[in-house]
Amino acid sequence: MVDDGSLDDRYTVSTRHWHRLGDGRMQCDVCPRACRLREGQRGLCFVRGRVDDQVVLTSYGRSSGFCVDPIEKKPLNHFLPGSSVLSFGTAGCNLACRFCQNWGISKSREIDRLSDAAMPEVIAAAAERLGCRSVAMTYNDPVIFLEYALDVADACRARGIKAVAGCSFPATMTPTPRSRRIALEHGLRYVYTGNVHDANGSRTHCPGCGATVVERDWYVIGRYELTADACCGRCGTLMRRSRGLRPVRTRREIT
Ligand code: SF4
């Protein structure tokens, strides 16, 4: 039941992405779970539910905590490398992974106890004040708090700060050294080991000459052999046609 659900609650907002079914239930269309709700029921994510004959989000402006991280910790190795990101998440999740590292918040039913109030403009201003180039909605799947996430992204954009949404599932998988090797053998170019200390598995190698173009130790960047136009500094191979690969610091600034 949406036991604390009320449209009078400052953290509860109406949503648009749902439709009514022939049997009187309402189907949330935000994610593939397609929860079909009767009055007073919550969806699998727990933060969306049916109140007063509409589907609402009950966690708008509620964050489960903030942290300033290196962008490489997200893990994003090809996006504003070397920059800081302000990370936050909310309670609840539409996934039910048995290996979840954030189970305490993703499956929490204690939203009040775990949440801080943080409206979008406050988050964007904090990121700017802390020198973060981006804000990451992370720890749980941000699609469940879609309305909040979009407003945070808009507030950040207005200040020239990028918004990072969890990236997609394949991009946020963190391979073991063995699965990284298999992925490389099957032709993937940029695969990074995650959650273990693996210096070689954290480096970006040129697909042309094999040289190390970005050296990392955990999340600290060492050698940096990438040119300003995203080419290998040794052989000139274009690493990727992505704006995200453009360095935010020159090699001289790093050394
Ligand atoms: S966002 Fe939540 S309520 Fe909506 S379909 Fe997904 S799990 Fe269900």
**What are the boundaries of each domain within the chain?**
13-57, 62-170, 174-254
Q: Rounded to an integer, what distance in angstroms lies between the CA atom of residue 147 and that of residue 150?
A: 5
pLDDT of 120 above 80: yes
Specify the ligand 1 atom closest to the Cα of 35. 8
Burial bucket for residue 53 (CB in 10 Å: 0-12, 13-18, 19+): exposed
For 227-245, the pLDDT digits (tens) are 888 899 999 999 864 444 3
Tell me how far the alpha carbon of residue 66 lies from the centroid of ligand 1, in angstroms. 24
How much distance in Å is there from the Cα of 34 to the middle of ligand 1?
6
If you take atom 6 of ligand 1, which residue's CA is the nearest one?
31
Amino acid at 185: E
61-116: per-residue pLDDT in tens?
998 889 999 998 888 888 888 899 999 988 899 998 888 888 888 887 776 666 78
Residue 8: which residues within 8 A CB-CB, separation 6 or more?
Answer: none
Contact 134, 153 (CB under 8 A): no
Can you say how many angstroms the Cα of residue 135 is from the centroid of all Cα atoms in its chain? 9
Ligand 1 atom closest to 55 (CA): 3
Joined together, the tokens standing for residue 208 give 């042309």
Length of the chain: 255
Closest approach atom of ligand 1 to CA 49: 3
What pLDDT is stored for residue 114 in this prediction? 65
Residues with CB under 6 A from ligand 1: 28, 30-31, 33-35, 43-45, 48, 94, 144
Phi, psi (rounded to 5 degrees) for 156: -70, -45
Q: Ligand 1, residues 14, 21, 94: which to mutate, most atoms within 8 A of Cβ?
A: 94
CB 167 within 8 A of CB 133: no
How far separated are the first and last CA of the chain, in Å rounded?
A: 57
Q: H/E element holding 177?
A: helix 177-185
Tell me which residue of 166, 198, 199, 170 sits closest to 183, measured CA to CA: 170
CA 98 to chain centre: 19
Query: Residue 34 CA: which ligand 1 atom is closest?
Result: 5
